Amino acid sequence: MPVQPIRLFGDPVLRTPAVEVTDFDRELHRLVADLADTMLDEGGAGLAAPQIGVGLRVFVYHCDGFSGHLVNPTFDVVGEEMQDGEEGCLSIPGLAWDCRRHLHVVARGWNMHGDPVEIEGSQMLARCVQHEVDHLDGVLFVDRLDPQTRKRALKEIREAPWFGDRPPTVKVSPHPLLGKAR
Ligand SMILES: [Zn+2]
C-alpha cells in the first residue's frame, strides 16, 4: 500500500471536521493500510485520515507497544489526573511543545470490518488518542497549548522551512478514481 504525502499545518483539510464512516468496505481497508504505512514510514505514534487529505473519522496508532486503528472513535476520560509532556505532530514536522492532556482514557469505535473496539490507555497511548480524535474534529494540538507556549509555537511554525505550502482539497474517498475509467 502506498505511503501518502502528509498534509501540513496551514492546509485547510486539517481544520475541517471529518465525517463518520458509513461503508466498511474495501476503500476503508485501503485507507487504514495507507494510514498505517504512512505513519510507520514517518516514524509517527499516530496518524489521522485528514492528515493524508481524507475527511473521514479514522486514525491509526503505534505507541507504548500498542498498535491498531479506530473508526468513528470517541473517548471518555478516566479519573481526573492530567499529564504534562512533550507532544508533536507529523503535520507540524520537526517541532514539539509541552501539552497538557488527560492521563487516562478509554476510547471506543470500530475496526475496519465493523466490529466494536475498545482501547484503554494511559500516558503516551492516552495522549495519542486525544491528539488523533482532535484531528478528526479539525483541532490541532497547538490549540491546546497554554497561551504563552502557543504564541511561541505559532512563531516557530511561521519560521519553519516547510511552512507556506498550500495544497488542495478535502477528499471524502481516498481512492476517487477506483473503478472508474480515466
Ligand atoms: Zn497530529
**pLDDT digits over 74-109, tens only?**
999 999 999 999 999 999 999 999 999 999 999 999
Instruction: Report whether pLDDT(151) > 90.
Output: yes
Q: What is the pLDDT of residue 179?
A: 39
Report d(CA 6, CA 63) in Å as an integer: 19
User: To which residue does cell 466494536 refer?
Assistant: 116
Ligand 1 centroid–CA 14 distance in Å is 9
Give the helix, strand, coil percentages of the chain, each rounded to 5.
Answer: 30, 30, 40
Residue positions annotated with a catalytic role: 132
The 10s digit of each residue's pLDDT in 43-78 is: 999 999 999 999 999 999 999 899 999 999 999 999
Q: What is the average pLDDT across 13-32?
A: 98
Q: What is the phi-psi region of residue 79: left when phi exceeds 0, alpha when psi lies from -120 to 50, beta otherwise?
A: left
Q: How far apart are the first and last CA of the chain?
A: 21
> Rounded to the nearest whole angstrom, what is the distance from the C-alpha of residue 22 to the centroid of ligand 1?
24
Give me the helices (H) in the chain, please: 26-42, 123-136, 147-159
CA of 45 to the centre of ligand 1 (A): 9
Per DSSP, 3 falls in state: P
Pairing of the two strands 66-77 and 58-63: antiparallel
Q: Give the DSSP letter of residue 142.
A: G
* pTM higher than the cut 0.75: yes
Q: What is the pLDDT of residue 16?
A: 97
